[in-house]
Chain A
Amino acid sequence: MLKFLVFNLVLMGFVSNWSLIQVGLSMMCFMGLLMMNHDFCSFCLGYMMSVDYLSYILIVLSVWIVMLMVFSSTVVKKMGNFCVGFLSVNLILLMVLVLTFSSVNYLMFYISFESSLVPMLVLILGWGYQPERIQAGIYMLFYTLFASLPLLVSLLSLYKSEGSLNMGLLLSGVIGYQGTSLLWYFCSVLAFMVKLPLFMFHLWLPKAHVEAPVAGSMVLAGVLLKLGGYGLIRILGVFSEVNKMFCWVWVSLGILGGVIVSLMCLRQVDMKSLIAYSSVAHMGLVLSGLVVMGGWGLNGAVVVMVGHGLCSSGLFCLANMVYERLGSRSLMISKGLLNVMPNMGLWWFLLVAGNMAAPPTLNLMGEISLIISVVSWSKLIMFSVGMLSFFSACYTLYMYSLSQHGLFLNALFSCCSGKVVEYFVLLMHSVPLNIMIVKGSLILCDL
């Protein structure tokens, strides 16, 4: 893992040269993807870091998304809006994310998990473009911090009781399912529930996603939500007994919350807000699959995390492209785009198809696995899961149709139907999404 971090640090030395960072990040992607030929459970061991199947997939996803972030933020470069600071923040965020996913020690994972908040906050406050971003930053920071300080206490008590915080050594887990164990369990998982986010703790997400600049939205939707999923996968193994008692809470909140949030999506006028709420719905399904503690659920969760990361990130890119041209994110103004930007219609459609888990996208494979896992836990939930999938298609088609079809705004003369760099960014989002289903075993991790 050190090769990634050293490469990252070296790139930080060249932040004055935007193009070099762009190309350097693509090089880093290539470097990361080469490691796919692994055959051991745990590789790249050393310096308290190790990578296993799940970590590897998520590290590749982070580097991919950060690379695409830099490519889609050409406005920052054009306006000369503190380019050096912007690239430094992005690279620091990438370093922290790689550290998080490759950490072996729960405490190191926690520290990196918290550290990712700082570059994120700087990104929102520094390059966001609305005064509401102050409140959005505060919401994100305090929701996450409030929930994760109990996690710190829980990890320290785990250290005291077990003697080590190594992920591989805590196999026995916390025994018992009442009293202290209950409190312990809730303290530990609450942080990840807020990060995912779960329905009742999701208020920070629409604010943060909307107020962040495109780079911030991309990394939030693409990687930071997956930190919650990843943390849950690591920590639920320790608390498996208590989890069996309480998984009904998380499944209900996840699925039913997802249905409610999908209905709210149909009421949204702001494009970014719609995509943000759709993230809540998807992650609700992921959470339900995870806490059921089945093989299908785990695999489905990872696949949906990767697919959603690519898809939501791409949709935020598209929303930003519309915003750059029309000056508004409102679906009332940016409608009938097929008339003015016909070429973008292809990318809109491909990513929208990904969002509603239509074949042949990766999301389809994940969502089918998750539906199987959740229905195997309780047949009654078929109704809610069906509604979740149905409304997910509803609001996605609503967004596509309202933004693309129909008559365009009278005040609009023309806009560029897409620069090559924008096509590149969208290509890199949708091609993996559509192609990786052919060899799905690459993303499935039978931990």
Chain B
Amino acid sequence: MAALARLSKTAFRLNNGVLKAGNGALVASNGVLVPRAVRVVGISTSKKNKDTVTVTDAVVEQLKVKTEETTVTKNWISWGFSYDSEVEDNTVMHLTFFFGVTLCMVTIGFVWAYLPDFRMIDWAQREGYLELRRREAEGLPLIDPNLISIEKIELPLDEELGDTEIII
């Protein structure tokens, strides 16, 4: 909630076209209402007879628009993502930390921490214990030097082997 409020405040400050007081005459600038346009009505007067001739042209109703600087660019310190534009700098900072920290670290960290039996390590340990229990019950050696029991292996006789090379 606080983050939303802070984000919105910065967003409005940086994007000052977002909430301009439309086409009204008053505009909020740093909380102070400033007149945006000043209408000047030209006043036409008739020639003053006693004055020397100074021709004041008939001033047609003019609209002098006095624009004030509604935003004063403050010196801003960059986060380091962009040194030209504060908007870009801020946006990239938020996006970077969202993708980098929120997603990649926190979310992925959470997923990794709770991955169910990753690569069947727990299953393998369970199977190992079950096998140990079976061997203890049957009186077999816990770790048998022979993978397959010797009675099941049929070795060829010497005559059948002949000259075959035996590699150990």
Contacts and interface: CB of A to CB of B under 8 A. Distances in A.
A422 B111 CA distance: 27
B105 A439 contact: no
A23 B102 CA distance: 13
B112 A439 contact: yes
A419 interface: yes
Contacts of A424: 96-97, 100
Contacts of A435: 109
Contacts of B107: 30
Contacts of B113: 438-439
B81 interface: yes
Contacts of B91: 19
B78 A29 contact: no
B120 A19 contact: no
B119 interface: yes
Contacts of A380: none
A53 B118 CA distance: 12
Nearest to B91: A19
B104 interface: yes
Given A30-B99, A36-B115, A39-B120, A422 B80 contact: yes
Interface in B78-125: 78-83, 88, 91-93, 95-97, 99-101, 103-105, 107-109, 111-113, 115, 118-121
A22 interface: yes
Contacts of A78: 83
A421 B99 contact: no
Interface residues of B, number: 30
Task: Classify chain A's interface size.
Answer: 20 to 34
B93 A420 contact: yes
B10 to A, nearest CB: 14
A36 B111 CA distance: 9
Given A37-B111, A442-B118, A22 B80 contact: no
Contact of A419 (B79, B95, B119): B79
Given A23-B95, A30-B99, A441-B119, A36 B108 contact: yes
Contacts of A446: 119
Interface string A29-56: 1100110110100000000000001000
A419 B105 contact: no
B112 A420 contact: no
Contacts of A427: 101
Interface string A415-434: 00001111010011001100
Contacts of A431: 105
A67 B95 CA distance: 14
A157 interface: no
Contacts of A442: 112, 118
Nearest to A432: B105
Contacts of B109: 435
Contacts of B81: 19, 22, 74, 420-421
B79 A420 contact: yes
B127 to A, nearest CB: 15
Interface in A388-447: 419-422, 424, 427-428, 431-432, 435, 438-439, 441-442, 446
A316 interface: no
A11 to B, nearest CB: 14
A74 B82 CA distance: 8
A320 B92 CA distance: 22
A382 interface: no
Contact of A421 (B79, B103, B105): B79
Contact of B118 (A26, A71, A441): A441
Contacts of A10: none
Contacts of A428: 100, 104-105
Contacts of A29: 99-100, 104
A332 interface: no
A245 interface: no
A19 B88 contact: yes
A36 to B, nearest CB: 6
Nearest to B92: A19
Contacts of A77: 82
Contacts of B112: 36, 439, 442
Nearest to B93: A420
A435 B113 CA distance: 11
Interface string A1-29: 00000000000000000010011001101
A432 B108 CA distance: 11
Nearest to B107: A30
Nearest to B98: A26
B104 to A, nearest CB: 5
A421 B95 contact: no
Given A33-B108, A428-B104, 6 more contacts: A23-B99, A26-B100, A26-B103, A435-B109, A439-B118, A441-B118
7 contacts: A26-B103, A34-B108, A420-B80, A420-B93, A439-B112, A439-B113, A441-B119
Q: Top 3 closest A-B pairs, CB basis? A: A419-B80, A421-B80, A26-B99
